[in-house]
Amino acid sequence: MLLLLQDRVAIVTGASSGIGRAAARLFATQGAKVVVTARRERELETLVDEIERTGGTAVAVPGDIRSQETAEALVRTAQERFGGLDIAFNNAGSIPERAPVPDLSLQGWHDAIATNLTSAFLGAKHQIPAMLARGRGSLIFTSTFVGHTVGFPGMGAYASAKAGLIGLTQVIAAEFGSRGIRANALLCGGVNTPMGQSVANNPESLAFVQGLHALKRIAQPDEIAQTALYLASDQASFVTGTALLVDGGVSISRT
């Protein structure tokens, strides 16, 4: 059986739940050695145990992805434990504060930018040199259709940060494509994750969000993880600089 990520080393952020957890497990089943991070240490250790029980290889590095020290520790662990770095799925994010722009606090704005955009910059800043040392690499960023094809009221800070990821992705792709590094952003629709449930937090709001999608449902984390696997693998060897909609048709649906 061909493993898509055989002998590759991957970092996955936001791995304690949702898309990150699903991606870490999937990457490991496809042969990658995985370095996982999030703030919740217990959940990370449970994830590592699950991966190892199914024959995979993983190590947890708990930390705050807004910290440069965490970004450095992840790359250092990948190099020291597994010999280098090939893949980085910069997935962690949150919606710290929802409010109309005039009511949004400055702290809420800063928190959204730090968690969703600055963290990705810090990750890439340290991941790229490690990938250059290998002569190849794939960076993947979790963005969203929010702020790209749709403006949702109350999400100004979140939308701005996630839209910024697309610009960061394109610049990295242009700067390092000639040296074997690809960079792509996943623009997710509604996903059944703890963060998604915080937005659609009752049956009525869930039904509304599902109805916005052409598929009339939201995604499961494993579905987004499969797309991340494609971008991480050589199957996407000529794909870089993309803002790839994985949104169940929410961007085009008017029904």
Q: 91-139, pLDDT tens digit by residue?
A: 999 998 999 999 999 999 999 999 999 999 999 999 999 999 999 999 9
- pLDDT score of 246 more than 80: yes
Q: What is the rounded average pLDDT for all residues in the chain?
A: 96
The pLDDT value given to residue 197: 80
Stretch 161-169: mean pLDDT, rounded?
A: 97
Q: What are phi and psi of 195, to 5 degrees?
A: -70, -40
Q: Does domain 9-245 have CATH number 3.40.50.720?
A: yes
Q: Residue 161 and residue 159: Cα distance in Å, rounded? A: 6
Position 199 confidence tier, pLDDT thresholds 50, 70, 90: confident
Query: Among the residues of 103-219, which ranges form H helices?
Result: 106-113, 119-134, 156-176, 194-199, 203-212
Q: Which residues have a catalytic role annotated?
A: 158
* Backbone conformation region of residue 64, classed left if phi is above 0, alpha if psi is from -120 to 50, else beta: beta
Residue partners of 248: CB distance under 8 A and separation at least 6: 189, 190, 213, 214, 215, 217, 218, 219
